Structure 1
Amino acid sequence: MGTTPQDDQWAILGGTGEFVAAEGIVEHKIVQVDCTGRIYEIKIHAFYIPMNSSAP
């Protein structure tokens, strides 16, 4: 059946469209596991600079 992943983090490196330069992390915590799947609680911490903005 496989292993159950532990609570952890996923990286945000880039993206598409408006978020092409995004960076950050997604913290995930497994809150329920049963025979049909898993339910995660996620917290997204991200930063991006819009491509059409100018730096000061």
Structure 2
Amino acid sequence: MIERIVDFSARNRFVVIALTAVLVILGLWSMKRIPLDAIPDLSDTQVIV
């Protein structure tokens, strides 16, 4: 299995580089979309019945 992956990667370098670039771009895009709280709410959740 790993031998086939290595063989494919060696024969198709452009595909591997393109997929890596796409994954990096998607990772950066998702990091920018994650909301960031300056002061996170650490209090206990309370439910009033």
> Which structure's residues are more often helix, by fraction?
2
Higher relative contact order (CA 8 A, sep 6+): 1
- Structure label with greater radius of gyration: 2
TM-score by length of 1: 0.22
> Which structure's residues are more often strand, by fraction?
1
